Amino acid sequence: MSKRVLVVDDAAFMRMMIKNILTKNGYEVVGEAANGREAVELYQQLKPDVVTMDITMPEVDGIEGVKAIKAVDPNAKIVMVSAMGQQAMVMEAIQAGAKDFIVKPFQQERILQALERVLARDD
């Protein structure tokens, strides 16, 4: 049974890149969102197994998105995707409940590793 993923990033090409990597490797991308507000709505509708969440987005950023999803589902599994130099924001996201993070530009292996690790955990 393939794991269901919600991909959240304001850049369409970035969502496409992540989606391609995941679908090639047996994941099912069930939805895409361009900001944290859309992410929360789609999370509630789609109930994905894991979310990849960009940090810097318009309207509602990734950190607020994590907090909102965690408020809806404390067991949500979220992996942050951040650009270089956003360590402080990554720490804030982890404190808000994110389980791991990937730094852009990323390698395909890193994404798969992060998702496998997060999905394997029961906390």
Which residues lie across from 4 on neighbouring strands?
Answer: 28
Q: Does domain 19-110 have CATH number 3.40.50.2300?
A: yes
| 10-residue stretch averages of pLDDT, the chain, 123 residues long | 93 96 97 97 98 94 96 97 83 94 90 96 70
Which pLDDT does position 78 carry in this prediction? 98
Which pLDDT does position 83 carry in this prediction? 84
Q: Tell me the CA distances in angstroms from 48 to 3, 59, 88, 89, 104, one per residue in order.
A: 8, 22, 27, 24, 23
Q: Does the reported pTM lie above 0.85? A: yes
Which pLDDT does position 66 carry in this prediction? 97
Domain coordinates in residue numbering, the chain: 19-110
Which pLDDT does position 123 carry in this prediction? 60
